[in-house]
Amino acid sequence: MDEAYESLKHLPFTDLEFAKVDNHRAMRKGFPEVIFCQGKTPGQIKTIAQALLKNADALLATRADEAAFEAVKSVEPQALYHAQARVISVDKRADKKAVGNIVIMSAGTADLPVAEEAAITAEMLGGSVKRIFDVGVAGLHRLLSFYEIISQAKVIVVAAGMDGVLPSVVGGLASCPVVAIPTSVGYGAHFNGLAPLLTMLNSCATGVAVVNIDNGFGAGYLAAMINRIGEETPGMEAKDSG
Amino acid sequence: MDEAYESLKHLPFTDLEFAKVDNHRAMRKGFPEVIFCQGKTPGQIKTIAQALLKNADALLATRADEAAFEAVKSVEPQALYHAQARVISVDKRADKKAVGNIVIMSAGTADLPVAEEAAITAEMLGGSVKRIFDVGVAGLHRLLSFYEIISQAKVIVVAAGMDGVLPSVVGGLASCPVVAIPTSVGYGAHFNGLAPLLTMLNSCATGVAVVNIDNGFGAGYLAAMINRIGEETPGMEAKDSG
Amino acid sequence: MDEAYESLKHLPFTDLEFAKVDNHRAMRKGFPEVIFCQGKTPGQIKTIAQALLKNADALLATRADEAAFEAVKSVEPQALYHAQARVISVDKRADKKAVGNIVIMSAGTADLPVAEEAAITAEMLGGSVKRIFDVGVAGLHRLLSFYEIISQAKVIVVAAGMDGVLPSVVGGLASCPVVAIPTSVGYGAHFNGLAPLLTMLNSCATGVAVVNIDNGFGAGYLAAMINRIGEETPGMEAKDSG
Amino acid sequence: MDEAYESLKHLPFTDLEFAKVDNHRAMRKGFPEVIFCQGKTPGQIKTIAQALLKNADALLATRADEAAFEAVKSVEPQALYHAQARVISVDKRADKKAVGNIVIMSAGTADLPVAEEAAITAEMLGGSVKRIFDVGVAGLHRLLSFYEIISQAKVIVVAAGMDGVLPSVVGGLASCPVVAIPTSVGYGAHFNGLAPLLTMLNSCATGVAVVNIDNGFGAGYLAAMINRIGEETPGMEAKDSG
Amino acid sequence: MDEAYESLKHLPFTDLEFAKVDNHRAMRKGFPEVIFCQGKTPGQIKTIAQALLKNADALLATRADEAAFEAVKSVEPQALYHAQARVISVDKRADKKAVGNIVIMSAGTADLPVAEEAAITAEMLGGSVKRIFDVGVAGLHRLLSFYEIISQAKVIVVAAGMDGVLPSVVGGLASCPVVAIPTSVGYGAHFNGLAPLLTMLNSCATGVAVVNIDNGFGAGYLAAMINRIGEETPGMEAKDSG
Amino acid sequence: MDEAYESLKHLPFTDLEFAKVDNHRAMRKGFPEVIFCQGKTPGQIKTIAQALLKNADALLATRADEAAFEAVKSVEPQALYHAQARVISVDKRADKKAVGNIVIMSAGTADLPVAEEAAITAEMLGGSVKRIFDVGVAGLHRLLSFYEIISQAKVIVVAAGMDGVLPSVVGGLASCPVVAIPTSVGYGAHFNGLAPLLTMLNSCATGVAVVNIDNGFGAGYLAAMINRIGEETPGMEAKDSG
Amino acid sequence: MDEAYESLKHLPFTDLEFAKVDNHRAMRKGFPEVIFCQGKTPGQIKTIAQALLKNADALLATRADEAAFEAVKSVEPQALYHAQARVISVDKRADKKAVGNIVIMSAGTADLPVAEEAAITAEMLGGSVKRIFDVGVAGLHRLLSFYEIISQAKVIVVAAGMDGVLPSVVGGLASCPVVAIPTSVGYGAHFNGLAPLLTMLNSCATGVAVVNIDNGFGAGYLAAMINRIGEETPGMEAKDSG
Amino acid sequence: MDEAYESLKHLPFTDLEFAKVDNHRAMRKGFPEVIFCQGKTPGQIKTIAQALLKNADALLATRADEAAFEAVKSVEPQALYHAQARVISVDKRADKKAVGNIVIMSAGTADLPVAEEAAITAEMLGGSVKRIFDVGVAGLHRLLSFYEIISQAKVIVVAAGMDGVLPSVVGGLASCPVVAIPTSVGYGAHFNGLAPLLTMLNSCATGVAVVNIDNGFGAGYLAAMINRIGEETPGMEAKDSG
């Protein structure tokens, strides 16, 4: 058995001591490792960004504050900071193409940071994204006016805080997969997102799956994976996998 | 101060040792004390029913099984058992009148026992009740087909398990108070009703209040109180408050 | 089915991209959409306030800080800021009338912000409000001295933190609906309002329903809806529903 | 240090392999070790009872079913079974004296098993006990009619399920310590006693302490300890502490 | 607005009083309404099955016991009962075709009922399913030996109880969407599935979404929706949508 | 009944609108109402202190910061601030006497603020207090060296965070009531005091009761009430109860 | 990378469809895979036992009922059933040797099933085990009388329900690692073992680690691994690892 | 019995009033008492450090901020501050020797503070430590490349936040004990470390035990105790145990 594992040692990653950058991920997943900035120092983020950009034309960093952005910008001047979504992106790919049809919805205005994180992630992974914000069910006609867009989507992401009701209603209307994101928007018996999380997990509508509270990135990533099916979008080739 | 409390001793209740039957409640609340059968022996239920029927023409007992029904029936042969709702009722009032307009809805078929407990309670307290069952949002058109009834209600009770989404949607459509009952119908991350309870407490729709999980009785009672407003229905007079 | 939903598109709302202002709500609910300020930027609040005031003579904004107030004031100089309740109100209605009889109680002094949010909301919706603050059961005679007011109320709102006991006791004394608000006032095993929330949901008194922790707005709104029954108070007409 | 601990080895206990009977407890606590029957086989209970009765004139066993009673009775024919309280008692003490003034109250009829467990425990430990059952606050006058007894108590035990409100109200009226027992009587958001437990821990009334859910034994024991203060009741002497 | 909702009334559903069968779902979702048997009486299940089979060639019923099966069989003799998965199926469709490539995995043997519910659901919706059971990470080589199948899947469903680790590891290896099902298999701090639920929601691997504890049906349904993308499988036509 | 409650209106309290000061409490409880400062403005605290000191020679205010102290000091220059315990005290009683024997223990150094709150409270209510701090069971001999003091106490208060083990061990050694205070000292799975709270509620030792997390005041108050039994300490007479 | 994983396919396991028996575990861990019977049918258990016994001289099965035992016995007549511990063992190893010094303690008699599961597991893995049962801290001298055994142990396992205090006290006395097992023995705020679990995780004593509630197997296994260090006990050789 | 406990009084500790320094611990545990700085003032830390260094050549203080470091440094200029791990160390021992083979791993970069606390603690207690950081399972080959180091370890510590999956996978590969530390790194349904805590407690891999969330110290200490077995490392002698 030792022999078997031995051979795995030669797969590509960059050992930075405090981090092991997974250079093989682009091959496996179609996009390089994404930097989750929370809990990392600007210095660590800078070093990881450098290691990643050696092998790739694009970079995504989430949960990023201004200091994280400065760190990445010092490595790559074309880096952009999406403040509301707390996302840093670098995109120097020659042939960008937005395929498929991803609809990203939010129940309220306060859910926008999460919904935007999902939207930017999905766009970075090559998805064509439509945004529909603030269509909670307290005014059902607002939602129903977008019925056509909903019924034509290839995959839908729905971010909702408070009671987290929107994904159930959208799931009842749509014929495509729905990725539900509970958000931490709320108060009291909302328990920082527990309430909409439970609502969504118990949804009676079929075709609904759930990601972690406020995990716009995860929902956007999954939506992009689903959206890629049947499209000619080979994802990102790693420049150099060694 | 002792003097003050002293005078309170003379208010009417019947001391059965293991229970103190509140004969004053009909005056205060418009309906006699209701027997909550859970945790009481048939013998205790019988004794309490006897004490209550001495002073009143009507009786309601909830969470009642067959043994409880036998106990009450031995005291009052006209007693009825509503098996699905687990409710016993006695009604020998001369002038029964159903007033107002209470709509009682359920999201699913499995919520019927709770919804029926609410409906029977509301009816016993003099309310006119319409039932709309199994109109969960997974098929939104089923709900919307009852929009006219919803918009004309004086008060609405909504029982829902699973994701507990229905009260939010009804609350967005209705112009009257909505009393939401989370039910224990569900599984997994439903946690015996916690999920719909939290959903309902966090409802974005205005005019929604919540009662305990599976508390059909409480919701029906409150709905009847609201429904009574502005109607000529003096509730139940206690026959004898001594 | 597409046809059916198609027609719903023409119902009135104003699309601000980040928000969809529900201009139809005044017709449906008797008062325009209320701005929940938490999680919105002052710029967003200002834009929403503008959109709402185009169609209505009154405006309510909750969970508002000073910056939110400045934003609304820049749109409407008559705006008032109720600092303790964190509420902004605008009221330019010609014929204001306070009807009915709403009693708003608090168990402690620290519950005042929540109780005041309920009171101002109820008043904005046309209710006549009596306030009784700091009558927790540790000194029962304080509460009992208001027994007459309690027994004459049309609807009662009770805000209580700590053990959340007051609504049960008031519910036992009153003959009208009681809307209970658990507050986040407490510490330790209070768990930010969970303790009084559970107390209230399990209340043995009949006619008690519960809203979310600290949801003074929701309780005041519901109380005003109940209070409106049987009164000649048509609510707020929307100026223009298109 | 080994030396120090060495000397402790000679303190009295009986080693039954599966159990170590603490013969020293009567000296330390004033009553022999009490058998907690839950999770023990009848054979184990019998052996422990034998070991205890070798050194003492009285025995208490809680959470006991019929099989446990048969086991104890085979050892000591004078054993009594208190079925409602699930308690077995043996009392062959020559000079029984009930001292002090313990009041044991329950909010509802269904709380009786727990209240009775407290009462029998307190009586076994020499306390004089008054019982007041079913005086929940939904009918406040029932409670207030016992105000005199409440204000003269030396210590009060209050068992309450559902919302657990009674100890707060009693604590506001009494001038003596109140031991509160949350019971598992309830349903839904009661979470098997969590709701009244939190209510009681957050009580605004002074002089209230709490024991575990359904722990009638613990409350009765503590009440007896408090009740013993200032009385001439030396507790139970162990017959033989070796 | 009334007008708009009015038109929705004419959408197809069958009103059985205790249930409203959604005949429009096949059009919207590609498969008729599925019967969730839990909490329904055999009589109710029979009536619903009859109503559904009037309009469709296939039927699926989940959480079904033997009594439910007898009820369905009395309506349709070709009904099959999958005991381990607690699923009833009827399939009289002329042209059955299994398309795509769904891999359904379980971490342990005890997770089979849930995994099988997912597999049968996915197959009923037209998916081609491969099963890989009992490949938990305690013996990692068992999992890795299926690496080729994992890397070629179009969508993967992973059922896991206990620590719920498997979806994270599979998500790290696969390049397709992973639908994770926490199961209630476990004990102690597993809290009936809470532990694997939280593990899966917090998965570091990208492309993982979660459904409710033990919700094999939901996962299988979603997987089938994803699997259908890009395939020529029009789903199920409703026979009669009026 | 109205008549009965009517008479209660004449019991003494001072109505400050935002607060109702209970002037009757000193008669009922032996010490005037104590000010819980958390959530009150300095202005409110000042007004309440003034109202209380009109009728009493002593005052206690808990959870007080410096601003609260300044407020009280402006009313009564002799006020003292116990910073570690966050307690304000005023004591102008002519004949102070410390009776009984209260032992107050802490498991760790970080529990001192809570233990001191208990100690000062108990002393203000006339108890003689011994302090034993930092005797957690990780070094059992530290605790055992105080065995004599423990075995002679009339009542013991034990504050403990982290695992909350100390009250169980003390309860096993002592022959008097033990009041256990869980503290919020800890981290991780301590959940802000939940861990020691549960430990203490489940204590196997007899004679242990529990107060809220960090509730030094409540424990000190209860200990003083128990300590007062059999002593000649009439508590505090209210100067003027009208 | 495919190449690397390819080689792993040849590691030994037996594919039984519903289970994959890990024949490599004995090499890796020193003992063959253990059968966790919960959730497996007798038929499945039998088949797995057969597969395991083909390659090994010993077998352990936990959480086993009588039916599971019959299944194993039909495969291997020498199988033994330890009813209290719910464990099945087969041991046909030629040279059995018990090495090291493992002490296994329980706080109460009701914890014996869990403690025995740990003891039998540790013995099957070659450890020499001493048992000390029912030494909870309510009678501290019982525990201290075993101080010598405690201080000489190589590793200690402590099972405790209720308040879970014992591991902290033992951890304070011992100089070796302590493996703590919370048990589900208790009631009320014990929450099926949550209380002692939290107590143990927050232990102030050093050298204490925790396993899952009731996980006697896991604790015994870990203790045996620690106990094996420095001993000449090569564990179990797999007979045939292919 | 008093006699027995009496003798324990003479065991060594230093009474600082607010703290009782356990001078006996070095004898009992092989290392002096460690200062847990959280909740202690710099002044208290300084006094405790002085008392400890009177009797020992080495000192460890955890959860220390800069102010705590200044306090210790004023007592002992050779003190070092490990900022990332928030640990202070003093080591003036003549013969330092690092024995055994402890591997300390982290799943992510953000887990480093906890992993470093474990590593420094283990090194202070004489262990030889290898660090492997950022080898989470999202890129399994990174982990497998360290398989040789894993399989040769004497004991392994694994710190992981998020889903907490790493210890299960390492436990499946390793043949030595694994001490798992859940960290508070994560968000949403991570609940400050609850998610990885539950994952680890439910681990299917054998030989895994768990310490409190973020308890790097506890894990490092336990690992050092296990690592010491069979080595010639007498731990730290206390200079003076009186």
Containing G201, the helix (H) or strand (E) segment is helix G194-201
Nearest CB neighbour to E202, from listed H137, H186, H203:
H186
Neighbours of chain G (3+ CB pairs under 8 A): A, D, E, F, H
Nearest CB neighbour to C202, from listed D138, D140, D162:
D162
In a domain, H241, yes or no: no
What's residue F145's pLDDT? Answer: 83
| H106 and H206 assigned to the same domain | yes
Name the closest residue on chain C to residue E7, using Cα atoms. C4
C7 neighbourhood in chain E, CB within 8 Å:
3-4, 7
| A37 and A147 assigned to the same domain | no
Of E46, E132, A39, which Cα lies nearest the Cα of H113? A39
**Distance between CA atoms of residues D240 and C136, nearest Å:** 53
Asked if the Cβ–Cβ distance from A189 to C184 is below 8 Å, we say no
**Which range (A37-46, C114-123, G28-37, H19-28) has the least confidence?**
H19-28
Asked if the Cβ–Cβ distance from A8 to H185 is below 8 Å, we say no
The DSSP annotation for F149-191 comes to HHHH-SEEEEEE-TT--HHHHHHHH-SS-EEEEE-S---GGGG
Tens digit of pLDDT for each residue in G160-219?
Answer: 999 999 999 999 989 999 999 999 999 999 999 999 999 999 999 999 999 999 999 999
Tens digit of pLDDT for each residue in A103-147?
Answer: 999 999 999 999 999 999 999 999 999 999 999 988 888 888 888
Tens digit of pLDDT for each residue in F73-101?
Answer: 999 999 999 999 999 999 999 878 899 99
Domain's final residue, options F91, F108, F134: F91
Phi first, then psi: what are they for C71, rounded to 5°? -60, -45
Q: With contact defined as beta carbons under 8 Å apart, do B213 and D187 qualify?
A: yes
What's residue F11's pLDDT? Answer: 62
* Mean per-residue pLDDT, F159-179: 96
Q: What is the pTM of this model?
A: 0.94
Asked if the Cβ–Cβ distance from D17 to G133 is below 8 Å, we say yes
* Mean per-residue pLDDT, B19-44: 85
The DSSP annotation for B149-171 comes to HHHH-SEEEEEE-TT--HHHHHH
Q: Which of A104, A141, A150 to mutate to test the interface with C (most CBs of C within 10 A)?
A: A141
| F110 and F207 assigned to the same domain | yes
Name the closest residue on chain F to residue H48, using Cα atoms. F109
**Distance between CA atoms of residues B165 and B167, nearest Å:** 6
**3-state DSSP call for residue E184?**
coil
**Which pLDDT band holds residue C16 (cuts at 50, 70, 90)?**
confident
Higher pLDDT, E29 or E154: E154
- Those residues with Cβ within 8 angstroms of residue B31's Cβ, 6 or more apart along the chain or in another chain: B25, B58, B60, B124, B125, B221, B235, B236
In a domain, G197, yes or no: yes
- Those residues with Cβ within 8 angstroms of residue D159's Cβ, 6 or more apart along the chain or in another chain: D104, D105, D106, D107, D111, D114, D115, D118, D181, D183, D216, D219
| C65 and C176 assigned to the same domain | no
Name the closest residue on chain G to residue A6, using Cα atoms. G4
| B222 and B104 assigned to the same domain | yes
Domain's final residue, options C56, C72, C91: C91
In a domain, H128, yes or no: yes
Containing E95, the helix (H) or strand (E) segment is none
Nearest CB neighbour to C137, from listed D168, D194, D196:
D168
What's residue C242's pLDDT? Answer: 36
Helix ranges (DSSP H) in D153-212: 166-173, 194-201
E195 neighbourhood in chain H, CB within 8 Å:
198-199, 201-202
In a domain, F44, yes or no: yes
Tens digit of pLDDT for each residue in F110-142?
Answer: 999 999 999 999 999 999 999 999 999 888 888
Q: Which two tokens stand for residue C139?
A: 């000194």
Strand partners, B127: B99
**Which pLDDT band holds residue E140 (cuts at 50, 70, 90)?**
confident
Burial class (CB in 10 A: 0-12, 13-18, 19+), A15: middle
Q: How many domains does chain C have?
A: 2
Nearest CB neighbour to G145, from listed D9, D182, D184:
D9
Nearest CB neighbour to G7, from listed A4, A10, A11:
A4
The complex scores an ipTM of 0.92
G170 neighbourhood in chain F, CB within 8 Å:
none
**Tens of each residue's pLDDT in chain G, 242 residues:** 555 555 555 567 888 888 888 877 776 777 888 999 999 999 999 999 999 998 888 999 999 999 999 999 999 999 999 999 999 999 999 878 899 999 999 999 999 999 999 999 999 999 999 999 999 988 888 888 888 899 899 999 999 999 999 999 999 989 999 999 999 999 999 999 999 999 999 999 999 999 999 999 999 999 999 999 999 765 544 343 33
Distance from CA of D78 to the nearest CA of F (A): 26
B179 neighbourhood in chain C, CB within 8 Å:
209
Q: Which two tokens stand for residue F132?
A: 């034993």
Nearest CB neighbour to G144, from listed D5, D39, D214:
D5
Q: Which of D2, D3, D7, D9 to mutate to test the interface with H (most CBs of H within 10 A)?
A: D7
Q: Which two tokens stand for residue C146?
A: 């208001």
**Distance between CA atoms of residues E195 and E197, nearest Å:** 5
What's residue G7's pLDDT? Answer: 53
Q: Would the pLDDT of A239 be above 80?
A: no
B194 neighbourhood in chain D, CB within 8 Å:
189
Higher pLDDT, F33 or G64: G64
What's residue G240's pLDDT? Answer: 38
In a domain, E2, yes or no: no
Distance from CA of H124 to the nearest CA of G (A): 14
In a domain, B242, yes or no: no
Compute the count of residue pairs across chains A and C with CB atoms less than 8 Å apart.
78
Name the closest residue on chain D to residue C164, using Cα atoms. D199
Whole-angstrom Cα Rg for chain C: 19
**Which pLDDT band holds residue A10 (cuts at 50, 70, 90)?**
low
In a domain, B234, yes or no: no
**3-state DSSP call for residue A36?**
strand
Asked if the Cβ–Cβ distance from A145 to C194 is below 8 Å, we say no
What's residue F242's pLDDT? Answer: 36
What's residue C6's pLDDT? Answer: 55
| G114 and G74 assigned to the same domain | no
| A121 and A184 assigned to the same domain | yes
Asked if the Cβ–Cβ distance from G11 to A1 is below 8 Å, we say yes
Name the closest residue on chain H to residue E136, using Cα atoms. H204
What's residue A225's pLDDT? Answer: 96
Distance from CA of F139 to the nearest CA of G (A): 6
**3-state DSSP call for residue E220?**
helix
Distance from CA of A95 to the nearest CA of E (A): 22
Nearest CB neighbour to G19, from listed E134, E138, E148:
E134
Asked if the Cβ–Cβ distance from C204 to D108 is below 8 Å, we say yes
Q: With contact defined as beta carbons under 8 Å apart, do C149 and F6 qualify?
A: no
**Distance between CA atoms of residues B183 and B213, nearest Å:** 5
Helix ranges (DSSP H) in D66-193: 66-75, 112-124, 140-144, 147-152, 166-173
Strand partners, D106: D159
Q: Would the pLDDT of B2 be above 80?
A: no
Q: With contact defined as beta carbons under 8 Å apart, do G134 and D48 qualify?
A: no
Q: With b meaning 16 or more CB within 10 Å and e meaning fewer, what string describes F129-155? A: bbbbbbbbbbbbbbbbbbbeebeebbb
Strand partners, A91: A58
**Which pLDDT band holds residue H3 (cuts at 50, 70, 90)?**
low
| G52 and G121 assigned to the same domain | no
Distance from CA of D152 to the nearest CA of B (A): 12
Alpha-carbon separation of residue D92 from D21, D60, D124, D127 (angstroms): 20, 12, 11, 16
**Tell me, what CATH number does C133's domain have?**
3.40.50.1970
Q: Do chains B and H touch (3 or more CB pairs under 8 A)?
A: no
Measure CA of the first residue to CA of the last residue in chain E; give whole Å: 24
| F107 and F222 assigned to the same domain | yes
Q: How, if at all, do strands E178-182 and E155-160 pair?
A: parallel
Domain's final residue, options D91, D122, D153: D91
**Which pLDDT band holds residue E241 (cuts at 50, 70, 90)?**
very low
Helix ranges (DSSP H) in A38-135: 42-53, 66-75, 112-124
**Distance between CA atoms of residues C125 and C127, nearest Å:** 6
Nearest CB neighbour to G225, from listed H4, H207, H211:
H207
| G28 and G124 assigned to the same domain | no
Higher pLDDT, B139 or B121: B121
Neighbours of chain D (3+ CB pairs under 8 A): B, C, F, G, H
Using an 8 Å CB-CB cutoff, list residues of chain F that contact chain D. Answer: 1, 4, 28-30, 34, 141, 154, 173, 175-177, 179, 197, 201-202, 206-213, 218-219, 221-222, 225-226, 229-230
| F73 and F118 assigned to the same domain | no
Q: With contact defined as beta carbons under 8 Å apart, do A151 and A173 qualify?
A: yes
What's residue C29's pLDDT? Answer: 73
In a domain, D233, yes or no: no
D190 neighbourhood in chain B, CB within 8 Å:
212
**Distance between CA atoms of residues E166 and E175, nearest Å:** 15
What's residue F17's pLDDT? Answer: 82
Nearest CB neighbour to D139, from listed B2, B5, B25:
B25
pLDDT more than 70, % of chain A:
90
**Distance between CA atoms of residues F126 and F99, nearest Å:** 6
**Distance between CA atoms of residues C126 and C120, nearest Å:** 10
**Which pLDDT band holds residue F237 (cuts at 50, 70, 90)?**
very low
- Residue E77: other Cβ atoms inside 10 A: 8
A5 neighbourhood in chain G, CB within 8 Å:
8
Phi first, then psi: what are they for E36, rounded to 5°? -90, 105
Q: Which two tokens stand for residue F233?
A: 């300490």
Distance from CA of C133 to the nearest CA of B (A): 22
Asked if the Cβ–Cβ distance from H112 to A197 is below 8 Å, we say no
Asked if the Cβ–Cβ distance from B222 to C206 is below 8 Å, we say yes
Distance from CA of G183 to the nearest CA of D (A): 12
Strand partners, A231: none
Distance from CA of F199 to the nearest CA of G (A): 5
| E37 and E57 assigned to the same domain | yes
Distance from CA of E32 to the nearest CA of G (A): 31
A36 neighbourhood in chain H, CB within 8 Å:
108, 110
Looking at every residue in chain E, the average pLDDT score rounds to 90
Tens digit of pLDDT for each residue in E218-230?
Answer: 999 999 999 999 9
Tens digit of pLDDT for each residue in E182-226?
Answer: 999 999 999 999 999 999 999 999 999 999 999 999 999 999 999
Full residue range of the structural domain in which residue E113 is found: 99-228
What's residue D178's pLDDT? Answer: 98
Q: Would the pLDDT of D67 be above 90?
A: yes
Using an 8 Å CB-CB cutoff, list residues of chain F that contact chain H. Answer: 108-110, 112, 133-135, 138-139, 141-142, 144-145, 147-148, 151, 185, 187-190
- Those residues with Cβ within 8 angstroms of residue B83's Cβ, 6 or more apart along the chain or in another chain: none
